[in-house]
């Protein structure tokens, strides 16, 4: 077993009693070919996700150390995750949710247990917890509403995960609300400041609120987005309309209002750490790209995370 795996397990043992990010922790590990690109890297796996996704990462040399928490039959959806020890908690403020449904995976990366964790994004289920936990969260191109992806702090790991060697310099446009969402001024301001690393042009985008299509299970091309991506590489928005809420739920707010349109259209998207709000809670910048252009999302993450305008700090502070 590689040395870094015991380090991850030791870190997990220290923080898990408080954060409750893991549904199950493994006690035995298969040997790893040291020639593989991610040989010996400990990862966390979202409980219930596709087996093929986990196998693709183990083929790169990753070592799964456990299954992360998600909502279950005993968990009101507002709390997003729990295990036998209690609710899954946001590392930056234990009274707040990490978001979901890939709750434990986001927390495992944010808390420094593992450098990479898997997720499934059904309506923002990777991007929302990535934003609220202050990590990168990538949703890949998909012809289905639910897309696979990962959490990490390191854009170079995204490049290995996607098999991307291209270095791109994408053009970008900015929309604070997609033309319909109600977004807190502070979320929009912090995300817009981070977006400056990509020098976006403002666009008067007017998407239709996707709620109707979502609940009618209508997926497919979005003519407005298709036209937009004829002239730009990236669409930038805040990831969420507001900060992480308490464990009692968000009330009437739709926290996926800025993310779920891209599950319906299948576009790849990423949440990038944009800084912190006035309460010290992470804020995310969302970037959306053309189908199959994950390389542009990775380029966006690199540009933002190396910008002097963005305050990026790992947990604990």
156 as an active site residue: the answer is: no
* Residue 148 bridge partners (DSSP): 120
Contact assessment for residue 102 and residue 138, using Cβ atoms and an 8 Å cutoff: no
28 as an active site residue: the answer is: no
Of the residues 46, 175, 265, 271, only one is catalytic, namely 46
Cα separation, 5 vs 11, in Å, equals 10
In the sheet that holds 42-46, the strands lie side by side as: 22-25, 63-68, 42-46, 116-121, 147-152, 136-139, 269-276, 282-289, 234-238, 172-174, 201-202
Residue 293: HSE in the Cβ half-sphere, 13 Å Cα cutoff: 19
Which residue, among 187, 155, 156, has the nearest Cα to 284 in the 3D structure? 187
Find out whether the peptide bond into 252 is cis, omega within 30 degrees of 0: no
Of the residues 35, 52, 74, 101, only one is catalytic, namely 101
Of the residues 125, 142, 175, 271, only one is catalytic, namely 125
Catalytic positions are 46, 101, 125
């Amino acid at each position: 077993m590689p040395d870094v795996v015991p380090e991850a397990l030791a870190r997990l043992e220290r923080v898990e009693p408080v954060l409750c990010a893991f549904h199950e922790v493994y006690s035995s590990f298969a040997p790893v070919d040291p020639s593989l690109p991610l040989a010996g890297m400990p990862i966390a796996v979202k409980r219930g996700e596709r087996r093929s996704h986990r196998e693709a990462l183990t083929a790169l040399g990753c070592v799964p150390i456990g299954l992360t928490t998600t909502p279950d039959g005993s968990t009101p959806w507002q709390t997003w995750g729990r295990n036998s020890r209690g609710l899954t908690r946001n590392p930056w403020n234990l009274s707040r949710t990490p978001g979901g449904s890939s709750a434990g995976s986001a927390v495992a990366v944010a808390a420094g247990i593992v450098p990479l964790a898997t997720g499934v994004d059904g309506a923002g289920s990777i991007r929302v917890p990535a934003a609220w936990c202050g990590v990168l969260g990538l949703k890949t191109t998909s012809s289905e509403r639910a897309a696979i992806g990962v959490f990490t702090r390191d854009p170079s790991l995204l490049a290995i995960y996607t098999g991307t060697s291209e270095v791109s310099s994408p053009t970008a446009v900015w929309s604070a609300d997609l033309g319909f969402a109600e977004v807190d001024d502070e979320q929009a301001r912090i995300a817009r400041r981070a977006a400056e690393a990509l020098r976006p042009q403002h666009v008067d985008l007017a998407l239709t609120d996707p709620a109707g299509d979502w609940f009618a299970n209508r997926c497919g091309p979005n003519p407005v987005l298709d036209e937009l991506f004829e002239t730009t590489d990236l669409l930038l928005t805040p990831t969420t309309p507001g900060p992480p809420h308490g464990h009692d739920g968000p009330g009437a707010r739709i926290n996926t209002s800025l993310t779920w349109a891209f599950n319906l259209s299948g576009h790849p998207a990423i949440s990038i750490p944009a800084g912190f709000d006035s309460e010290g809670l992470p804020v995310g910048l969302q970037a959306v790209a053309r189908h199959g252009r994950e390389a542009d999302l990775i380029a966006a993450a690199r540009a933002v995370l190396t910008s002097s305008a963005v305050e990026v700090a790992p947990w604990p502070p």
